[in-house]
Chain A
Amino acid sequence: MNILVCLKQILDPDIPARDFRIDPERREAVRGSADLVTNIFCENALETALQLKDAHDGMITVLSHGSEEAEDVLRKALAMKADEAALVLDDDAAQADPLQAARVLAAAARKLGSFDVIMVGRESGDWGVGQTGGLLAEELGVPFIALVEHLDVDEGKLRIRRQTDTGTEIFEVTPPVVISITNSENNLPRIPKTRDVMKSYRKPLTTIAVADLSLTPSSDSYFRLVEISVPEKETRCELVEGHNLEQRIDAFAHRVAEIANTTR
């Protein structure tokens, strides 16, 4: 299997709420001292790919569309044992809408080789729009499966398990296919060994200038952000009182029961 995993670099989504600000001019989160990290679902995707390779052999290429800083994301992926890495260098990558991103990724994928499975994260931890995977599939003219948690190969066909609202489904797929990966208990990203982190800096990394992909600029934008604000909605929490734990549990139980008894 020849696998391509798309990795997006984002602002650390775990910054504490009290440090979160929006820049009204730029209409995006203020970076401040927050780190840039690999989007977690992209890491889940890489882990899923590594497991597929461990079980069935294969080649994993990782691809990112980003600024120079996105090299970190690719080095980390190489340390996790991806085989090859490519960066589409684009200083405007962070402003790209999902269709532009999908076009860039599709053109880069064509340039890099022919892939059986192309993986993306289900959505990014910043804007969380989650449209890139489906658009990428359409750009490449192949099927798309969302919310995948596991893949297997059976006589040249893929068996792809995905989450539904009530359980799971298994797809039988003749490659190629684009899939979006969601988190599951089976794809928590592995921690690279220190030795592999060191080695990752000596591995080659292909850089493609976005201009070299010869994309025709689209005349209109896919969508436009017209408003962004941070809601103020903290409430005052009443901590139940009592002289001892038993009394506090009792008071808590009464508050719960009051609501529970009206819903019956």
Chain B
Amino acid sequence: MNDILICLWSANGFDRATQGVIGAGRRLADTTGGQLHAVLIGAEDNTLVEATSLRADHVLVADRPELHEAQPELYLAVLTGICRSLQPRAVLLGSDVYSQELTPRLAHRLEGSSMADGAELTVAEGGALRVRRTAYGGRANAVYELGRQPAVVWLRARGFAPAEPIQDHHGTVTHLDIELPETITARIAERYIEARDGVPLEDAALVVSGGRGLGGPEPFEELRQLAAAIGAEVGASRVACDEGWVPASWQVGQTGKKIAPELYLAIGISGAAQHLLGIADAKVIAVINSDPDAPIFKHAAFGLVEDYRKVLPALTAKLAELATR
């Protein structure tokens, strides 16, 4: 079979990551000459069903009360069942924690192959899926060929272009009748969402980020003020998160958020490969660092070699003055 299946969570709506997965799936199905199937798990969201059906050939709605909040064990059962009957060539997921967690398990159940953090998909002669991604903490680019079918891949979803609606097209919409396992031994019992004002880091056009060079949690308050002056969000290096200065969800990099802002202003961050991997798609990188030899300067468009403590309040005041309303 040449069909492609994409797995979407209804709770996310038609967000940028969802659009990226749909776009990747559409183009891959057009390449293989197969049909694009989209399964939407969770409480049915009409806007998402509609938007998906304009771009996919078949929309499968998996809506049961037990699925309204994510339960990986149940999601895995649903996806395994669908894949067994559809026999897709490839299964694509997004970059959220559930997608990451389900990818190898689903591949194993289907005797396929899996890959993480796909940045580009191509089809080799002979039909095997090829996935481009980074290796060695962003120091190298690698292309893998996934020989076994299906190829199950979670994508760096926001990096994939969305698909336009297909002219005069409306895919079929099917409500699935699903059976769920009666008992599961691992269940999400509590969920905590961190309070965060403003837009998610991944969606921010401007990001100001701090690292070990800030020396503690207090300077992040100054960073927040600087960010507020230009309407930016605040991120951090892993060191700043591991030190407990800011929450783990602020981490930018290989194992943190991968972001693509218009401007990334790095303050007191050295520019380790693993950190740079998270900002590879940033349009402009600007730096404030006291060490002129910090590697991050090699990736920046402009910079200021200075102790941030001598810069921050004055820079914030100047930016507030320059901001157009």
Contacts and interface: CB of A to CB of B under 8 A. Distances in A.
Interface of A: 13-14, 16-17, 20, 22, 29, 41, 98-99, 122-123, 125-135, 137-139, 142-147, 149, 159-160, 162-174, 177, 182-185, 188, 220-231, 233-235, 237-240, 245-246, 248-250, 252-257, 259-264
B249 A165 contact: yes
A248 B286 CA distance: 14
B142 interface: yes
B314 A249 contact: yes
A153 B145 CA distance: 42
A147 B5 CA distance: 25
Nearest to B245: A185
B66 to A, nearest CB: 16
Given A182-B255, A223-B145, A13 B97 contact: no
Interface residues of B, number: 93
A185 B248 contact: yes
Contacts of B193: 166-167
A186 B168 CA distance: 54
Given A138-B108, A177-B186, A224-B145, 9 more contacts: A130-B116, A138-B109, A165-B200, A168-B191, A169-B188, A185-B244, A224-B144, A227-B142, A240-B304
Interface in B279-325: 284, 286-288, 292, 295, 297-306, 310-311, 314-315, 318-319, 322-324
A185 to B, nearest CB: 4
B143 A143 contact: no
Contacts of B188: 169-171
B272 interface: yes
B273 interface: yes
B182 interface: no
B322 A252 contact: no
Given A226-B143, A237-B287, A256-B263, A123 B192 contact: no
6 contacts: A131-B103, A134-B108, A139-B108, A143-B73, A227-B141, A254-B322
Nearest to A175: B185
B248 A163 contact: yes
B230 interface: yes
B215 to A, nearest CB: 16
Given A165-B97, A167-B249, A182-B255, A235 B113 contact: no
Contact of A237 (B130, B137, B302): B302
Contact of B255 (A122, A137, A221): A122
Interface stretch (B22-30, B46-54, B235-243): B235-243
Contacts of B300: 235, 237
B140 A134 contact: no
A48 to B, nearest CB: 14
A249 B323 contact: no
A125 B301 contact: no
Contacts of B241: 183-185
Contacts of A225: 142-144
B151 to A, nearest CB: 8
A248 B232 CA distance: 21
Given A223-B145, A249-B315, A127 B303 contact: no
B274 A13 contact: yes
B92 to A, nearest CB: 16
B218 interface: no
Contacts of B244: 185
Interface string B101-134: 1111101110001111100000010000010001
Given A172-B189, A182-B255, A127 B315 contact: no
Contacts of B263: 256, 259-260, 263
Contacts of B262: 259, 262-263
B90 interface: no
Nearest to A252: B304
A261 B244 CA distance: 33
A160 B188 CA distance: 9
A91 B186 CA distance: 36
A231 to B, nearest CB: 6
Contacts of A227: 141-143
